[in-house]
Amino acid sequence: MRILCYGDSNTWGYIPGVGTRYKKEERWTGILESLTKAEVIEEGI
């Protein structure tokens, strides 16, 4: 199963004030992937 997550900087994992992104296992999409065992595709803009 694959899950597409299309959203904003929150979906991308943007860290405010720093300009980088959280590690995959820290982003909500990474947590979703580990809980569901599905492939999660992140399309944050």
pLDDT score, position 33: 97
- What pLDDT was estimated at residue 44? 83
Give the pLDDT score at 21. Answer: 95
User: What are the Cα distances from residue 23, in Å, to 1, 9, 11, 39?
Assistant: 23, 14, 12, 16
pLDDT the model gives residue 26: 97
pLDDT of res. 18 = 94
Residues (pLDDT < 70) of the chain are: none
Give the pLDDT confidence score for residue 45 in this predicted structure: 79
21 vs 36: CA distance, rounded Å:
22
pLDDT at 43: 93
CA dist 38 and 15 (Å) reads 25
